[in-house]
Structure 1
Amino acid sequence: MLTNKFNSSSYGAFLVGLAGMAIGVAVGFGAGAIPVVVGLLLGVVAVLVFFFARFEQAVLTLLVLRSSLDPFSAQQIPAAFAIGLDALTILYVIVQILIGKKVHTDKFFWIFAGWVAFLGIWIVLPIVGWGLLGKTYLGDGIREWTRIFSWLMTYLLVMQLKGKIHLQKIIPVLFFSLLIPLIVGFLQLAINFSFPATTYCPNCFSSTLGHPSTFGTFLFLFIGLTLWKLSHIQKNRWFWLTLLGNLAFFMVMTKSLTSLIMMSVFVIVLITPKLNLLRLIGAILFITIIFYLFASTEFGSEKLAGVLETPVFNQDLDISRTILLSFGDGNSANWRIAQWSFLIDAWKQSPLLGYGLGTSKYITYFQNYAHNDYLRYLAETGIIGLISFIVFLGMQIVYLAKYLRNSPLGSPRRSICVTMIAIFAAILIGMATDNVWNHTTFFFYWWLLFAIVGWEEEGGKELGVRS
């Protein structure tokens, strides 16, 4: 009687063979029905083969590719990419468990997963008939939850690179994601902004990110990483300094005031632990130059003047008058104050659980995004959801501080932790005045960085490891 058993490799080969048979059958039926199905299935096969045969290279390619997809949003390419990435991650985890290999996670992953699962409440509630809006905007809620779930899958996928590639090698690879956005940015400059731009700022750079503010936060993130890189190299510093100058130039040219404020907060937090006179002068000079360049443009000067014409700086204005002015004065700062007032009024109608994920742009007079992520969560998920959001943000601070304490002095990991804490402080400020939580590309790279800094943490978890 045969007593041979599958070992891990033979079992994995069996699974791959079984999948090949299934795809072969599907291709056969597809060839007789819809020929285009054959092409799609063969494409899927090619991706799967590359993904499992060259896992590290495939993951890095996917990470770099994400920054170039937003111009195809109308064709749903970014959404398809996210769903495909989710499917690949889940498939990889299942295969690893079945063949008895390690699936790396950490404690923060489970906190992240728990919060994402908790947000699912606001998908279930409309389905069971709860809420002032019912199922009217259920599709928006599902899309928003799926978007956040994709960040979780990005985190999980990057965790699987643990032990395969070092932190100092993977972060420089991420800079290739700047290649296409910067090329498109230079083309926008060369042909005098003839690329489509937003109506509120027709001469603002948006590159491949679709919106100037989104491009601005993306550039801000890589400015932080460039400064981190400069702190650890002695050779080729001119290359990195040139890159830093180009990133700062394009960030100013996005004319996104939120991005400039975030950059200022980042610089202040970054230099605070080792503050001295030289660093202070350098930081002040850097911030001054950025805001001077911003204010030297017509759009920038109007934005800054608009901020001064708000109740915060003009005592002759009250909220009621600000709301009235917001309907026709073109002042985006006053418009934001009016939008926030409308959101708070709407929230009062459903204070505990809000209106549902993705609904904030439908519940005010302006029918627009919240431009304040805290008020967005208050309106969409009520006080319960807002508390969960703030706790989730707080846990990120806790874990970054933990990683910082556990990193050796002078190590690249300790330095990237400091950089990420400064970036996160800027995120917290930026979310108070803009739709930073909507900047999917920014958070795609944020979460992969968060996974990377957790690689070397003691006490990491493993799923499905057979004895």
Structure 2
Amino acid sequence: MWSHQSSNRSARLSIIIGLAGIGVGVATGFLIGIKPLYPILALCAIPILFYFFTQFEQAVIGLLILRSSLDAFSALQLPAVFAIALDALTILYVTVRLLVGQPVKVDKFWWFFIGWLIIQSLWVILLPLGGLGLGTPFLSEAIREWVRLLTWALVYLLVMQLKDKISPQKFVSGLFLSLIIPITVALMQLFVPSLLPPMLSIGGGDGFGALAEGARIRGTFGMANTFVTFLLLFIGLTWWKLKWVQHRWRWLVLLGVLTFLFVSTKSLFSLMMLAVFVLVLIAPRLSLLNLIGGILLFGIVIALFASSEFGQQRLASIANTPLLNPDIDISRAILLSEGDHNSFNWRLSQWNLLLNRWQEYPFLGYGLGLSIQVAGNGFLPHNDYIRALIEGGIIGFVTYIGFFIAQAIRLIQLMYQIPRNNRQYELCFIMLAILVSLPIGMITENIWSHTTFFFYWWALFAVLGWNWSEKYE
């Protein structure tokens, strides 16, 4: 009986894959007359589709590893093509499992994520109805932003399908392979500066900081700031690994390389994020030794940051801002931003511009993903809280903050359910430390637009709720 049911499921699976292959073939024929690159990608989809269903575990991990290398090809829109393809594969895989009567694995937080996305879709729906500050001409940008957020939820869903098929420890270890190409490229940029490519991101740099972007390493990423959050995530994972491996020297070397590259990005906001991250890590086990170690680590980072002329200029620029100069108030800083090439003063000017425009539509804002259009100067707000206010108004801002609070609650709940001093607990704690540092960086940076960081963030978030018992060792 069981064999008969299994053969029926296999037959149905073969039929569905065959139909999907026919669909790809038809799409290829249609696209030949539109753009030569599209049919090539469509033809590549056929073997990818076959491999995805026959070698599911390896395919998923391979796709996750590949993502860290794609931002360098933003001009060719490869990250967008990759995201759409990943969404399609995930939806197809889940549909096939449902059709053949196999369970689709989810958890409570994923359902919360989907509910939150449904709420965000209201800003897309209201846009053409005239309920927001902007209207129908910007609908495609709003849809694109919503799909970007949906991709994170689908990454979560896709990784959940690996549950009970691969050990969580092996999955996390596999993600370290995504460091190889970005680190290699970053080291080449560091020692051969002529290899630094031009900026590929749009709206990612501030008006004056972008002028010096060519002096900062960014690996395979569009900007140094997006690279640095990716590095912080893997610094946390490497820290986690150090406690559970036998040959610690290899991971210490990796931690040193990641920290060195982290500093070499010359991102000021990342220093505060790192300080908060380290503080959260040592706080529960606070002792004189841990405190000295934390201060020493942060001191080394600051010293490395200030070891170059560019780093010294970045630190010195703070002295000409309201933060450290009592003779400069916010109004004067905004006026100075027009010619002093000070990144922080420029941010004050950008925030002032956007907050003035937010007051025109305070409750529902202008629309999802439309803060660049509202600013009118081609730049993001460089403050994710102001971005949430501009795009979603007060109501959207509340949902935005609530989303991060929900993540913290989820991590804390898992930590209460797990015995202390095991791998799962420690990884939850590392993720919580990173989560606490994010709001600090969001004050002066566009972290919400760091798609690659959240791609890996949600892949890891899905794994945290798995069964980490000994049978998976």
Q: Normalising by structure 1, what TM-score? A: 0.92
Query: How far does residue 326 in structure 1 lie from its aligned partner after superposition?
Result: 1.0
Identical amino acids, percent of aligned pairs: 49
Query: How far does residue 122 in structure 1 lie from its aligned partner after superposition?
Result: 1.4
- Amino acid corresponding to residue 44 of structure 2 in structure 1: G
**Within the alignment, does 1:203 sit opposite 2:215 as a pair?**
yes
Once the two structures are superposed, the pairs formed by residues 120-159 of structure 1 within 5 Å of their partners are: 120-159=121-160
Query: How far does residue 329 in structure 1 lie from its aligned partner after superposition?
Result: 0.8
Query: How far does residue 362 in structure 1 lie from its aligned partner after superposition?
Result: 2.7
**Alignment partners' CA distance in 2, 1:450 and 1:4:** 34
**Alpha carbons of structure 1 residues 299 and 94: separation in structure 2 relative to 1, 3 Å:** same
The correspondence for 2:384, drawn from 358, 367, 373, is 373
The correspondence for 2:314, drawn from 293, 303, 308, is 303
Q: How many residues align?
A: 455
**Alignment partners' CA distance in 2, 1:115 and 1:4:** 38
Match of 1:462 in 2: none
Query: How far does residue 4 in structure 1 lie from its aligned partner after superposition?
Result: 10
Match of 1:221 in 2: 233
**Alignment partners' CA distance in 2, 1:185 and 1:296:** 18
Match of 1:419 in 2: 430
Query: How far does residue 23 in structure 1 lie from its aligned partner after superposition?
Result: 4.8
The correspondence for 2:305, drawn from 262, 287, 294, is 294
**Alignment partners' CA distance in 1, 2:328 and 2:263:** 30
Encode CA deviations 1:104-127: one digit per residue, 9 max, x unaligned: 111110111111111111111122
Q: Does the residue aligned with 2:105 lie in a helix, a strand or coil?
A: strand
**Alignment partners' CA distance in 2, 1:33 and 1:379:** 37
Contact preservation (8 Å) 1:65, 1:177: yes
**Alpha carbons of structure 1 residues 26 and 124: separation in structure 2 relative to 1, 3 Å:** closer
**Within the alignment, does 1:312 sit opposite 2:298 as a pair?**
no
Contact preservation (8 Å) 1:403, 1:457: no
Match of 2:456 in 1: 445
**Alpha carbons of structure 1 residues 299 and 54: separation in structure 2 relative to 1, 3 Å:** same
**Alignment partners' CA distance in 1, 2:252 and 2:181:** 19
Contact preservation (8 Å) 2:237, 2:430: yes
Residue segments in structure 1 that go unaligned for 5+ positions in a row: 459-467
Q: Normalising by structure 2, what TM-score? A: 0.91
**Within the alignment, does 1:431 sit opposite 2:449 as a pair?**
no
Query: How far does residue 314 in structure 1 lie from its aligned partner after superposition?
Result: 2.1
Shifted more, 20-29 versus 366-375: the winner is 20-29
**Alignment partners' CA distance in 1, 2:372 and 2:127:** 17
**Alignment partners' CA distance in 1, 2:434 and 2:5:** 55
Contact preservation (8 Å) 1:82, 1:150: yes
**Alignment partners' CA distance in 2, 1:35 and 1:294:** 46
**Alpha carbons of structure 1 residues 399 and 28: separation in structure 2 relative to 1, 3 Å:** closer
Contact preservation (8 Å) 2:366, 2:393: yes
Contact preservation (8 Å) 2:333, 2:348: yes
Contact preservation (8 Å) 1:50, 1:58: yes
Match of 2:334 in 1: 323
Contact preservation (8 Å) 2:25, 2:43: no
**Alignment partners' CA distance in 1, 2:453 and 2:5:** 50
Encode CA deviations 1:320-349: one digit per residue, 9 max, x unaligned: 111101111111111112211222111100
- Amino acid corresponding to residue 192 of structure 1 in structure 2: P
- Amino acid corresponding to residue 173 of structure 1 in structure 2: G
Once the two structures are superposed, the pairs formed by residues 44-443 of structure 1 within 5 Å of their partners are: 44-197=45-198, 198-234=210-246, 236-364=247-375, 366-443=377-454
Contact preservation (8 Å) 1:262, 1:426: yes
Shifted more, 280-289 versus 329-338: the winner is 329-338
Shifted more, 296-305 versus 140-149: the winner is 296-305
Query: How far does residue 128 in structure 1 lie from its aligned partner after superposition?
Result: 1.8
Contact preservation (8 Å) 2:414, 2:428: yes
Contact preservation (8 Å) 1:193, 1:205: no
Contact preservation (8 Å) 1:193, 1:203: no
Q: Does the residue aligned with 1:7 lie in a helix, a strand or coil?
A: helix
Q: Does the residue aligned with 2:211 lie in a helix, a strand or coil?
A: coil
**Alpha carbons of structure 1 residues 89 and 332: separation in structure 2 relative to 1, 3 Å:** same
**Alpha carbons of structure 1 residues 285 and 120: separation in structure 2 relative to 1, 3 Å:** same
Q: Does the residue aligned with 1:63 lie in a helix, a strand or coil?
A: helix
Contact preservation (8 Å) 2:24, 2:45: no
Shifted more, 434-443 versus 365-374: the winner is 365-374
Residue segments in structure 2 that go unaligned for 5+ positions in a row: 199-209
**Alpha carbons of structure 1 residues 342 and 9: separation in structure 2 relative to 1, 3 Å:** same
Shifted more, 144-153 versus 32-41: the winner is 32-41
**Alignment partners' CA distance in 2, 1:371 and 1:297:** 25
**Alpha carbons of structure 1 residues 112 and 34: separation in structure 2 relative to 1, 3 Å:** closer
**Alignment partners' CA distance in 2, 1:132 and 1:369:** 17
Query: How far does residue 38 in structure 1 lie from its aligned partner after superposition?
Result: 6.2
Query: How far does residue 310 in structure 1 lie from its aligned partner after superposition?
Result: 2.1
**Alignment partners' CA distance in 1, 2:381 and 2:25:** 48
Encode CA deviations 1:2-24: one digit per residue, 9 max, x unaligned: x9998323322332343345556
Contact preservation (8 Å) 1:357, 1:380: yes
Match of 1:463 in 2: none
Contact preservation (8 Å) 1:339, 1:366: no
Contact preservation (8 Å) 1:404, 1:414: yes
